[in-house]
Amino acid sequence: MLDVINEASIALLQISGRGIPVREGWYDPDITDTHISLWPLSYAEDDHSDDDSESETATVQVNIWEPGGRGGAGRRSAGADESLWL
């Protein structure tokens, strides 16, 4: 089974390597610096052959939270036009 959160975390290693936290979940008011949250949206096994799936499809929402942003409590979430599809 595809672990979309793990795959997204790997894709964002250059960001987390610079000290920006990348974590599964939603907005955390206790983190006061820029951070990224990952939220799984969907998962499907496709193209079944002999009772095994030939492919998997998953989507993840990537939210970028930063101090002084547009959202509530001084944070912002990436809008639909800023979403990353991994």
Burial 30-47, CB ≥16 within 10 A → b, else e: eeeeebbbbeeeeeeeee
pLDDT band at residue 62 under the 50/70/90 scheme: very high
Structure-block tokens of residue 2: 């595809």
Q: What is the distance between the alpha carbons of residues 70 and 51, in angstroms, rounded to a whole number? A: 48
Q: What pLDDT was estimated at residue 71?
A: 52
Task: State pLDDT tens for residues 34-61.
Answer: 999 999 888 887 776 777 777 788 888 9
Give the containing element (helix H, strand E) for 24.
strand 22-24
Q: For residue 26, how many other CB atoms are within 10 A of its CB?
A: 12
Cα–Cα distance measured from residue 52 to residue 55, given in angstroms and rounded to the nearest whole number:
9
Q: The pTM is what?
A: 0.65
The pLDDT value given to residue 77: 47
